[in-house]
A = this chain, B = another copy of it.
């Protein structure tokens, strides 16, 4: 019984996309059987350990990525070390919308991450022949841009309290969207990651969360928080 089904390379490699749990959420969601097979042919599956880098800002952008499992942080550094997290990538997210041939931000795995990796040339060739697919990528870019604009409002015009509340509510909604709608909101990223995402310090994040707990808006648990008063949190986030 050495030869199992998963030991058959054809079976395994070419069934990957069809079996993919996040395909419908991803850019590849609209592809038909044939396109999907070709798409799979030009992709390479890669696993990354926590804190391993997917790519680094400034590097030649050789690959584009499609996240299939785990969470990644996307960030930019200033010369003196100050960091801004520009986003967290979840399963289904596409990291390949780039105007130049160099990465403009860095990305690394927060927990155990799986990605489909494509060479930029092969990917470009693939989309150029498939207008419908291009249209879908466009939608993803548009959504990404809208999120970025909302983040600008948050960074520029909201208080620390509002930032944290908005982050928790937004993160919960994104988790729900990919099917994870448990009671407790999983927060695989560190406090420092959250701080760098919200334009705050780690201390302010910590203090604000503790205060929210004192005020019975939530409970801090290992690896996340549990929202006791989602209504109040949503009100804070919207305000």
User: CB within 8 A of A97: which of B98, B105, B142?
Assistant: B142
Q: Check if A151 is an interface residue, CB within 8 A of chain B.
A: yes
Q: List A residues 58-101 near B (Cβ within 8 Å).
A: 76, 78-80, 82-84, 86, 97-100
Number of interface residues of A (CB under 8 A): 43
CB of A146 within 8 Å of the partner chain = yes
Q: How far is the CA of A141 from the CA of B135 in the complex (A)?
A: 12
Q: How far is the CB of A141 from chain B (nearest CB, A)?
A: 4
Q: Are B134 and A82 in contact (CB under 8 A)?
A: no
CA distance A97 to B141 in the complex (A): 8
- Chain A contact residues, majority secondary structure: helix
Q: A190 to chain B: which residues have CB within 8 Å?
A: none
Residues of B within 8 A of A131 (CB): 128, 131, 134
Is A198 in the interface zone, CB < 8 Å from B? yes
User: Complex: how many Å from CA A100 to CA B105?
Assistant: 26
Contact of A76 among B98, B104, B139, B153 (CB under 8 A): B153
Residues of B within 8 A of A196 (CB): 156-157
Contacts known (A141-B141, A142-B97); A84 close to B152, Cβ less than 8 A = yes
Which A residues contact B (CB, under 8 angstroms)?
Answer: 76, 78-80, 82-84, 86, 97-100, 104-105, 128, 131, 134-135, 137-139, 141-146, 148-153, 155-158, 196-199, 238-239
